[in-house]
Structure 1
């Protein structure tokens, strides 16, 4: 009997050797190799939990949207009982896409090729000219339904996996869930989307964006330097550097995960001083929440936090709240505070997915959220501010989406593909004294640990013997 072996590329390179664990380097080839891309579709997007959207996008029976799980198109539907389903968008007759629409509402999904029809739960209804039994008699109708993924809802977010008997979603999140709950499960009614997600195509490998989403704060100092030079961001606070110096924002707490999830927790006290003029050192938990409510919340909403979060989570929320981070493999989220000209603060709640469309192409998908209880005036401000900064034409995303194509092109070069991505800035601190949260926690100036753990999990998934 042959023993299981890890995958090897056509030139003899073992996939695991692309990530040098001892020197914390990744070969640039990983951002361009077509063979790797095909393996990723099977071993990553075909195996783990993938983010697809939010249930408020399909509020009614029969609502659906089309999304992608790696290289596969899927239908995200809601049936008459209110249950959410994720179905492979492939007719079981001849392989035509069941739906060619981005979204809609129907109780019967009908393939335009031969008319085979399916319910929102994927069940096969029948084919035209029923008396002729054009679906044949070799397979039952139950066997001809659309392929179904395993689905979970988390704070209204929709995740799915083809690994039907694999780890649960909670196991996939691991210790990171404790922190994600502070963001996604903090209010009584939860979040909802502010319209359909924005989408645009970037000529880049999905991992160039994906690894950045693993809480890379360092690039902000240079790529987003303008944040400290223009508008309300340029105003200095106590102990802060000159205009353009964003280094104070690089200090905080970072949480890594063996599954590649990551969070950047940034000092709230510094923001309270800067934006309100109050001294956070003399404020209670309640006073901090009222002085600067969490991004996307009003003072009237903060009481909900006490009903939904533990005292330990409230401690983190009022000291070093998570503001930016990622969910492996391709999701970035931001819950950030945006200063206004009148001295007020508007929160932004956004999520990006970097959907692979080939070895050198990704689709950038951007969702903008608000709490269901948020007043309309706040929702309008959040939508406008988030589009301006983090939308498909936003000032921040114009910076980021310019770097990824350059990295992908460089990784195709005869010499460039032999060079390495380096993650050698290593934390040596550990968690702050008294830190109540779980996980791999470090404090201080942002380092490479979160992104490095992202690559280690990529290596694990890609290198597993079969």
Structure 2
């Protein structure tokens, strides 16, 4: 059996074989053992607040409809007609009690029930008495703090069990608002010519921050005369199940309650009130974490929540070993003051947006990695060992424990399936 990951704690060495970024057979195994069996983010409850609201989604290689049905239930339906397979809904979003297939005009209520079709006299009287001609529902749709996930494995553990220790950090995001969080505007969609696991790594990699995004940090120093040196200090944490987080302090403003000189004094006063209310609700220590600490969270396999100068969630799926499609969401507290919302959106677009300082830099770095993997016959291993010498309980945010957490879960899932095949033969 091919060795994909070497995890040598005695030698303080962690290596990943570069074939995992280029091999089509490995991608097929990832789809079967990871994307078909793990909880995958589909959207946020705030996207479909009213009965009849729906959003088209692509999750784990499937075309889905996330629907707030007329009975009040939220559902994920496979967006395919049971007649001949066409997409039933072609609009990206809207509100409707009925979906009508363009091809042969079969229609379905927004809970997926077959409502009618032309030429009904050509079918038996008991047609669809067993419900097999209804739109098929994804059996596993669960939510945590408004974040909704699907699982295509009916035997998987609950979402609550799956998220485990990651819930603490999702709570730090959700608790920023007493009214709840909401997704802003439309979903940002773009593609990257790189393997999907490179984006998972990059999203919790503070080590690359200063060299890759130097221009952004130089600008931050110019905006704040009291900022002598940019520091990115904090810790990396293995959250189990492949999830991980880096939590750290940084120089940028956070719209929740960390003011910066680029904003006016009135906004500073409002942020002080927000911070005081956080202290009332949670105490000094937790209020400080919520307001002043940044978090980059990876939820295995393909959800990243960045709670930094703004809040964004990204999910991504591979169409080939060297190509991924990315969907990005921006989040904010419901009912946020207009001036705060403007500051938040400016922060988001400046760094996290597709045309910001960070995202194009990151995408270029990932594509450069992918391009160089054509050398993987001669240069076979990536090194992800930084911080192992400190012990896994003492690592810094700029170490690589976050990536090792991801890769250890990956190793478990992929190598278990390989071992089963070997045993069967």
The 2-side partners of 1:307 and 1:379 are apart by 23
Matched, 1:456 2:397: no
Matched, 1:228 2:191: no
The 2-side partners of 1:67 and 1:271 are apart by 32
**Residue in structure 1 matching 2:327, options 359, 365, 368:** 365
Q: What does 1:194-233 correspond to in 2, within 5 Å?
A: 194-213=184-203, 215-232=204-221
| Range that drifts further, 370-379 or 51-60 | 51-60
Checking the alignment, whether the CA contact within 8 Å between 1:31 and 1:408 is kept in structure 2 is yes
Shift of 1:124: 3.0
Distance 1:231 1:266, change over 3 A: closer
Distance 1:311 1:176, change over 3 A: farther
Q: How many equivalent pairs are there?
A: 407
Matched, 1:159 2:149: yes
Distance 1:444 1:88, change over 3 A: same
The 2-side partners of 1:302 and 1:80 are apart by 39
Q: Secondary structure at the match of 1:380?
A: helix
The 1-side partners of 2:388 and 2:214 are apart by 24
Q: Scaled by the length of structure 1, what TM-score is found?
A: 0.78
> Deviations along 1:255-292, whole A, 9 cap, x unmatched?
112222222211479989x9679xxxxxxxxxxxxx98
> Deviations along 1:43-102, whole A, 9 cap, x unmatched?
111111111222222222222111122211111111113322112222222222222332
Matched, 1:382 2:344: yes
Shift of 1:216: 0.7
The 2-side partners of 1:414 and 1:20 are apart by 16
Matched, 1:419 2:380: yes
Checking the alignment, whether the CA contact within 8 Å between 1:18 and 1:27 is kept in structure 2 is yes
The aligned residue for residue 315 of structure 2 is: 353
Structure 2 residue runs of 5 or longer lacking an equivalent are 262-266, 421-425
> Deviations along 1:241-266, whole A, 9 cap, x unmatched?
4xxxx4x21x2122112222222211
Checking the alignment, whether the CA contact within 8 Å between 1:182 and 1:309 is kept in structure 2 is no
**Residue in structure 1 matching 2:235, options 253, 270, 284:** 253
Moved over 6 A (4+): 268-272, 274-277
Q: What does 1:436-447 correspond to in 2, within 5 Å?
A: 442=394, 444=396, 446-447=398-399
Q: Scaled by the length of structure 2, what TM-score is found?
A: 0.85
**Residue in structure 1 matching 2:5, options 3, 11, 19:** 19
**Residue in structure 1 matching 2:248, options 266, 287, 307:** 266
Structure 1 residue runs of 5 or longer lacking an equivalent are 1-12, 278-290, 338-347, 431-439
